[in-house]
């Protein structure tokens, strides 16, 4: 009996051992039979895994009865139970729409099919196609409802991002989260990005107090468990050029116009020998140059049984198309990201980032800038004199217009920033279906700025300083920090087979604090930037008499702030049978930025959806997905106050002069640095959205529609106050107030279609956004008006019934042709008597007098609609793509021309009025005082445009001959960024706007848009 048992034991042992074997196989696309590389293969029983190689081949140790799971982005997951199999042929079906893919929605994820809010997703394929220098550019023209505008084409220029219109007068930026950590676009290496998820409606309510302007969630690339090390390298080299020159008069044209202008004004002619002038100096040509740009990005990622990792780095350098190396911009990124699986229930995620930026900076955007001077300088003046020395210019020219080349040569700026951020996430599955998360994100940012203005002469009577012997250095150091601690629990379960429930509850604590110092010094030794530091100079100006010199301490400034937020939130998600969907969010926020009694606010969001395509009556209709959804929510915004030095409290950080003894004596003393506002309320956005998602032709055609209304109430704006109370004193900050309400109402459309013609793969896409913007309420007055047009004229308004930033001035009706027309027109009360050849201003209120009361709405910088289009082609190893975006109906206020007799002018003056019937559009030229320089429709231009922002041609070289060295991909490409802009706008860039919400459309000489032409390579091992 013992022998029999021993025999059976040996047989059983042999049988068991024999069942564990190495299974090989191949993963292929079921549609075309092509091999699928990099498929993740997990043994569910042992939690071990591997990946298929470039040919789709894999091998893995497995026992009979164990389950293998095969997953890959863009394909449906396959599970297979192993039974006496030596070779597996794994056919994977495309999941074109990826309806089952998981999407990040804030403090959690959700299947794309079950999302009930208005959410847009941009994948890494778009990012790699656009090759943006700043990640923001990847959203430009690619997402309906998202408008991205740049504040100029200078290296490192800031972007304005508006989701569903202008909704706040203070801060329209959406919140940016990278893998759950709060950050901004400038701190992200675009090559690290895997997806953008844009939350545009009440779906963002989970973020509460800062979500009113929308939320953008960025997921970065990561390693995978069981993945062999994968090395990726990409680079591009190229050059940048200004895309457009403004048409101004050449020297001959200028002289003729000048002579006519002076004769009409009763003065002698300026130029007697016009024939010798030729074209003269093209000042724009002198300041524009070809600028180099290059980028390198390297990453390695992979993973083992218990960990994953990603290490990446990137280096970008860019010179300025104006200023060259003096406008140089540099950015260095390093990221280390890892997941550690301490057990099957406990995971630790870390993400460490370092960013360094350096920027020279040339003032080339606005009044007094290099571009401003180039446009207005006289073309009759040579760049250099006979000795090769830069011209000093004309003594007759305005003191505000300088030689722009001299200005560049005497510009010395250094801006640098170090930013370190660390992210730690602990994820613990307490019991089945219940997960706990704790996140800590810490950011430290330090910046340094140094600017030096040497002593130099621009021209006769024109100096950079009060005295020719002066020079000035300005230095500033700032330190900004924040931490965000999030903790939340998520419970997910299915009840009675069809009832899916997910509950999320948690809290958040944030603290923002910082400080900084700055100072000014004069008389730097040797008049040199090399010696330009505060300790080498004197804390007062040599041109100031001893008895008038201020206290040296007054030339140094300091700021400090510390603000906190705390929040509690909860979310309930319910789905019945995967087709009836409901989600509800509640969040309570407390902010130290508000006074007691106003520091707490509640926000909420409700979303619902119906997956109609899953109903039985939709069978055999050819519709892959039809989902109807709707949402409503209230979201907050206090971001305008984040870095303030005091909001409801009085800070003695200002300095003022105070009269005593009946005004006979003036004493100096401390003044409030910021006025308190104990009644300041939260800015709140109330958002309604209804829409649907449609998918046809097995996912090859997708269409999304949304109708939305966003009402923003109690907007927070800094309002000017009396200087004696602190608002106008040194170091002062004006008081914040709630000024009014705005409504944005509109529709979004987006569609994409992909199909094949033989082996040619074609993809088409388009989006369209229509928004009606209106100020619906102004608190405490009829309007808020800001200047910005020539000599401080009031230019733009925040006024009930009008769009934000509307231009407000006089309406024109052509040109007076005769004195009789003037006599029969309403009387002018504008400061100058009209004459034939002057602009006709409309008496809008019909009171018989044309004065300031006749000012009216002239237009606004908000387009009637914006749109984006794209086309991609792929044939074997060749790929081609083209993308464009545009705006229709937006207007800009032309304010870069000076109203001065000697400056140059745009060439439209060649069509000026010179007598009855000669022109009904361009007024006469004269040195006399006229009303023609008043803000009117004459200066408001249609700035509609369409821009091709990306053309790319690439070729993937066959890598079969290089498999021995592990090469998996080798692609070379050529790229043109912003090569063409179609517009009738006279200025440099119809797509540029300032960062100020009310004056965003006033063009004081935007830095010109630049085109970039580059070649690059992508390599994967």
Over residues 858-876, the pLDDT tens digits come to: 999 999 999 999 999 999 8
> Which of 77-91, 166-180, 294-308 has the weakest average pLDDT?
166-180
**Residue 646 and residue 732: Cα distance in Å, rounded?**
11
Least confident range of 168-177, 265-274, 719-728, 807-816: 719-728
- Tokens for 330, please give them: 């540099």
Closest C-alpha among 38, 36, 41 to residue 24? 41
Dist. CA 749–CA 687, nearest whole Å = 18
Q: Does residue 661 have a pLDDT over 70? A: no
Who wins on pLDDT, 149 or 504? 504
* In the predicted structure, residue 191 carries a pLDDT above the cut 80: yes
- Long-range contacts, 988-991 (Cβ 8 Å, 24+): 988/242, 988/244, 988/246, 988/371, 989/150, 989/152, 989/153, 989/243, 989/244, 990/887, 990/890, 990/892, 990/943, 990/944, 990/945, 991/149, 991/150, 991/887, 991/945, 991/947
Question: What confidence score (pLDDT) does residue 893 get?
Answer: 93
Residue 643 pLDDT > 80: no
The reported pLDDT for the residue numbered 238 is 95
More confident: 501 or 722: 501
* Residue whose structure tokens are 């041109």: 543
Q: How many residues are given for the chain?
A: 1021
Residue-level pLDDT at 545: 52
Nearest to 734 by CA among 653, 638, 637: 653
The model carries a pTM of 0.83
Helix (H) or strand (E) holding 980: strand 969-983
CB atoms within 10 A of CB 155: 28
Q: Label residue 930 by pLDDT band (50, 70, 90).
A: very high
pLDDT of residue 461: 46
Q: How much of the chain is in helix, strand and coil states, percent to nearest 5?
A: 15, 50, 35
pLDDT category of residue 978 using cuts at 50, 70 and 90: very high
pLDDT of residue 655: 45
Mean pLDDT across the chain, nearest whole number? 84
Query: In the predicted model, what is the mean pLDDT of residues 145-165?
Result: 81
Phi then psi for 620, rounded to 5 degrees?
A: 65, 25
**What is residue 670's predicted lDDT score, i.e. its pLDDT?**
46
pLDDT of residue 459: 54
Give the pLDDT band (50/70/90) at residue 583: very high
Q: What per-residue string of b and e applies to 78-113 under the rule 16 or more CB within 10 Å gives b?
A: bebebeebeebebebeebbbbbebebbbbbbebebb
Q: Which residues pair with 869 in a beta bridge?
A: 766, 884
SS (H, E, C) 485-538: EEEEEEEEEEECCCEEEEEEEEEEEEEEEEEEEEEEEECCHHHCHHHCCHHHCE
Determine the average pLDDT of the residues in 597-617: 91
pLDDT computed for residue 426 by the predictor = 94
Collapse the DSSP code of 70 into the 3-class scheme (helix H, G, I; strand E, B; otherwise coil) and give the result.
strand
On whether the CB atoms of residues 935 and 809 are closer than 8 A, the answer is yes
Mean pLDDT within 317-328: 91
**C-beta separation of 566 from 208 below 8 A:** no
For position 1005, what pLDDT does the model report? 83
Q: What is the pLDDT of residue 264?
A: 93
Question: Residues 6 or more apart from 190 whose CB is under 8 A from it?
Answer: 127, 131, 132, 133, 134, 135, 138
Kindly tell me if the per-residue pLDDT of 940 is higher than 90. yes
CA nearest to 788, candidates 524, 996, 941, 488:
996
The pLDDT-based confidence of 993 (bands split at 50, 70, 90) is: confident
How does residue 469 score in pLDDT terms, banded at 50, 70 and 90? low
């Amino acid at each position: 009996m013992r022998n029999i048992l021993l025999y059976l034991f040996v047989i059983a042992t042999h049988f068991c051992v024999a069942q564990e074997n190495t299974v090989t196989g191949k993963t292929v696309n079921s549609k075309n039979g092509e091999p699928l590389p990099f498929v993740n293969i997990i043994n569910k029983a042992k939690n071990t895994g591997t990946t298929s190689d470039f040919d789709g081949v894999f091998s893995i140790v497995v026992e009979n009865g164990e389950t293998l799971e095969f997953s890959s982005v863009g394909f449906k997951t396959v599970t297979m139970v192993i039974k006496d199999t030596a070779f597996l042929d794994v056919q994977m079906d495309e999941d074109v729409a990826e309806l089952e893919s998981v999407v990040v929605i804030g403090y959690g994820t959700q299947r794309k099919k079950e999302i009930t809010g208005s959410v847009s997703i941009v994948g890494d394929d778009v990012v790699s196609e656009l090759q943006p220098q700043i990640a923001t550019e990847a959203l430009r023209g690619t997402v309906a409802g998202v408008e991205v505008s740049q504040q100029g084409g200078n290296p490192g220029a800031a972007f304005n991002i508006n989701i569903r219109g202008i909704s706040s007068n203070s801060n329209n930026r959406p919140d940016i989260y990278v893998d759950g950590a709060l950050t901004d676009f400038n701190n992200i290496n675009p090559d690290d990005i895997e997806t953008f998820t844009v939350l545009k409606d009440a779906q963002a309510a989970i973020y509460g107090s800062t979500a009113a302007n929308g939320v953008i969630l960025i997921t970065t690339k990561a390693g995978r468990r069981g993945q062999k090390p994968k090395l990726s390298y990409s680079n591009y080299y190229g050059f940048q050029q200004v895309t457009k020159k403004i048409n101004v008069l050449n020297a001959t044209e200028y002289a003729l116009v000048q002579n006519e202008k002076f004769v009409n004004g009763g003065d002698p002619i300026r130029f007697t020998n016009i024939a010798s002038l030729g074209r003269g100096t093209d000042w724009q040509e002198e300041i524009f140059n070809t600028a180099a740009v290059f980028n390198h990005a390297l990453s390695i990622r992979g993973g083992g049984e218990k960990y994953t990792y990603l290490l990446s780095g990137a280096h970008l350098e860019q010179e300025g198309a104006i200023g060259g190396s003096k406008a140089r911009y540099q950015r260095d990124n390093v990221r280390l990201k890892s997941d550690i699986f301490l057990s099957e229930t406990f995971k630790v995620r870390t993400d460490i980032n370092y960013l360094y930026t350096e920027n020279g900076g040339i003032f080339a955007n606005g009044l007094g800038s290099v571009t401003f001077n180039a446009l207005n300088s006289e073309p009759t003046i040579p760049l250099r004199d006979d000795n090769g020395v830069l011209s000093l210019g004309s003594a007759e020219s305005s003191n505000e217009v300088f030689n722009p080349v001299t200005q560049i040569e005497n510009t010395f700026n250094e801006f640098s920033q170090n930013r370190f951020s660390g992210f730690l996430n602990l994820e613990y599955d307490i019991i089945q279906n219940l997960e706990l998360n704790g996140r800590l994100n810490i950011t430290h940012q330090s910046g340094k700025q140094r600017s030096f203005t040497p002593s130099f002469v621009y021209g006769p009577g024109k100096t950079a300083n009060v005295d020719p012997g002066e020079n000035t250095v300005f230095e500033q150091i700032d330190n900004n920090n924040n931490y965000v601690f999030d903790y939340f629990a998520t419970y997910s379960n299915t009840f009675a087979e069809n009832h899916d429930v997910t509950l999320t509850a948690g809290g958040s604590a944030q603290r923002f604090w910082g400080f900084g110092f700055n100072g000014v010094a004069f008389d730097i030794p040797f008049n040199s930037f090399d010696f330009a530091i505060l300790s080498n100079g004197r804390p007062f100006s040599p041109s100031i008499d001893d008895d008038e010199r201020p206290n040296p301490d007054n030339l140094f400034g300091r700021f400090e702030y510390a603000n906190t937020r705390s929040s509690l939130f909860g979310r309930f998600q319910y789905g019945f049978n995967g087709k009836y969907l409901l989600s509800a969010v509640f969040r309570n926020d407390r902010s130290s930025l508000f006074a007691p009694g106003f520091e707490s606010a509640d926000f909420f969001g409700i979303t619902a959806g119906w997956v109609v395509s899953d109903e039985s009556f939709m069978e055999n209709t050819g519709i892959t997905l039809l989902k109807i959804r709707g949402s409503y929510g209230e979201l907050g915004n206090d971001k305008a106050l984040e870095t303030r030095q005091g909001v409801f409290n009085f800070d003695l950080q200002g300095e003022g002069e105070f009269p005593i003894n009946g005004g006979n004596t003036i004493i100096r003393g401390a003044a409030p640095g910021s006025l308190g506002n104990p009644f300041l309320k939260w800015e709140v956005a109330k958002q309604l959205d209804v829409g649907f998602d449609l998918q046809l032709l097995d996912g090859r055609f997708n269409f999304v529609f949304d109708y939305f209304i966003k009402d923003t109430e109690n907007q927070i704006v800094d309002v000017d106050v009396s200087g004696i109370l602190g608002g106008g004193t040194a170091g002062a900050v004006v008081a914040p107030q709630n000024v009014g309400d705005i409504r944005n109402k509109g529709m979004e459309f987006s569609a994409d279609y992909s199909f094949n013609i033989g082996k040619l793969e074609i993809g088409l896409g388009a989006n369209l956004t229509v928004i009606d913007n209106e100020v619906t309420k102004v608190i405490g007055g009829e309007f808020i008006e800001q200047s910005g047009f020539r000599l401080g004229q009031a230019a733009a308004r925040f006024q009930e019934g009008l769009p934000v930033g509307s231009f407000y001035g006089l309406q024109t009706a052509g040109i007076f042709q005769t004195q009789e027309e003037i006599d029969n027109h309403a009387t002018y009360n504008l400061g100058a008597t009209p004459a034939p050849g002057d602009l006709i201003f409309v008496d809008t209120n019909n009171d018989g007098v044309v004065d300031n009361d006749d000012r009216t709405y002239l237009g606004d910088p908000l387009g009637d609609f914006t749109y984006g289009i794209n086309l991609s082609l792929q044939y074997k190893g060749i790929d081609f793509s083209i993308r464009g975006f545009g705006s229709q109906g937006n207007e800009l206020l032309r304010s870069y021309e000076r109203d001065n007799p000697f400056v140059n002018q745009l060439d439209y003056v060649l069509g000026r009025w010179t007598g009855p019937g000669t022109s009904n559009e361009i007024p006469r030229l004269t040195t006399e005082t006229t009303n023609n320089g008043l803000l009117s429709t004459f200066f408001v231009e249609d700035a509609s445009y369409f821009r091709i922002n990306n053309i790319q041609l690439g070729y993937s070289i066959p890598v079969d001959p290089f498999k021995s060295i592990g090469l998996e991909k080798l692609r070379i490409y050529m790229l043109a960024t912003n090569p063409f802009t179609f517009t009738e706008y006279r200025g440099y860039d119809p797509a540029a706007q300032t960062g100020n919400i009310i004056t965003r459309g006033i063009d004081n000489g935007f830095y010109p848009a630049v085109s970039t032409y580059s070649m690059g390579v992508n390599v994967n091992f």
